[in-house]
Amino acid sequence: MRKFETVEAVAAAMDMANVDTDQIIPARFLWRARAEGYGALLFNDIRSEADGSAKPDFVLNLPASAGAGVLVADRNFGCGSSREHAVWALSDAGFRVVIAPSFGDIFFNNSFKNGLLPIVLPEARCAEIRAALARNPGAKLVVDLEAQEVRGPLGINDGFRIDSFEIDPFRKELLLAGMDDIAFTLSQQGAIDAFEGRYAAEMPWL
């Protein structure tokens, strides 16, 4: 997994609540191999018409959204299925950060495993940032994981400012190090073995 370094990227705003994983990546694409890439399929059915042509008003089809690396969304983003493809689609399309008032739990967990940083900011603040982005298309946000800050573009105040966010220290550590958690877990083998002995004694019927 690549290290998460400070991201400075165009931010795109998505004004829909409950964006589910079926919308992020429709089920019919899930048999594709990871190596084939999912970026082009991100939001396929809401981004394009049935004939494959792009819907001109969808945020990621706007010229100002080109190269977007930060998505600012609404509540319960990524709800629905456990498909990690939803995270792959976002990260293959170049996103490194999603900011929302809340996330689907499994999507939230999956994000960290793929170096995509999900940031929770208050609902009202997310709405302000989305409005500021609407007024300033193509504006870049800076996401500094070390400092736990989201910063607006230099010199533009119009609704942007510095927002601090919370993150679990363990997840922060793994992201910053680009460390994989299997390797970390295996380093705890002594504790695992001891536990398994106790567990088997407690539940001999397993």
Partner 1 sequence: MARTMLDKIWERHSILVRPDGATLLHVGRHLVHDGSRAGFRALAERGMRVRHPGRTFGTPDHYVSTRGHTLAAIPEPNRREMVSALAENAATQGFTLFGLGDVRQGIVHVIGPEQGITLPGLLMVCGDSHTATHGAVGALAFGIGASEVSHVLATQTLWQSRKPRAMRVTVEGMLGFGVTPKDVILAIIARIGAGGGSGHVIEYAGAVFRAMSVEGRMTVCNMSIEAGARAGMVAPDEAIFAYLKGRPFAPKGAAWDQAVASWRDLASDPGAVFDREITLDGAAIAPMATWGTSPEDAAPITGSIPSPALAPDADRREAMERALAYMGLEAGMAMQDVPIERVFIGSCTNSRIEDLRAAAAVAQGRRVVIPAMVVPGSGLVKQQAEAEGLDAVFRAAGFEWREPGCSMCVGMNGDLVAPGERCASTSNRNFVGRQGRGARTHLVSPAMAVAAAVTGRLTDVRTMMGGV
110 near partner 1, rule: CB under 8 A? yes
State the nearest-atom distance from the C-beta of 153 to partner 1, in Å. 26
3-state helix, strand, coil in the chain (%, to 5): 40, 15, 45
Q: Quick check: helix, strand or coil at residue 97?
A: strand
Q: Which residue has the tokens 């230099």?
A: 154
Q: Quick check: helix, strand or coil at residue 125?
A: helix
Closest CA to 103 of 2, 191, 24: 24
Q: Which stretch in 29-37, 61-69, 90-98, 150-158 sits in contact with partner 1 by CB under 8 A?
A: 29-37
166 near partner 1, rule: CB under 8 A? no
State the nearest-atom distance from the C-beta of 151 to partner 1, in Å. 25
Q: Which residue has the tokens 């018409």?
A: 49
Among residues 51, 57, 166, 202, which is the contact residue for partner 1, using CB under 8 A?
Answer: 202
22 near partner 1, rule: CB under 8 A? yes
131 near partner 1, rule: CB under 8 A? no
The one-letter code for the residue type at 180 is D
Residues 103-120: b if buried by 16+ CB within 10 A, e if exposed? bbebbbebbbbebbbbbb
List the interface residues with partner 1, window 176-195 (CB under 8 A). Answer: 181-182, 185-186, 188, 191-192, 195
The one-letter code for the residue type at 118 is P
| Helical residues (DSSP H) of 93-148, grouped into ranges | 105-113, 123-135
Residues that bind partner 1 (rule: CB under 8 A) add up to a total of 55
87 near partner 1, rule: CB under 8 A? yes
206 near partner 1, rule: CB under 8 A? yes
Among residues 69, 104, 152, 153, which is the contact residue for partner 1, using CB under 8 A?
Answer: 104
30 near partner 1, rule: CB under 8 A? yes
205 near partner 1, rule: CB under 8 A? yes
105 near partner 1, rule: CB under 8 A? yes
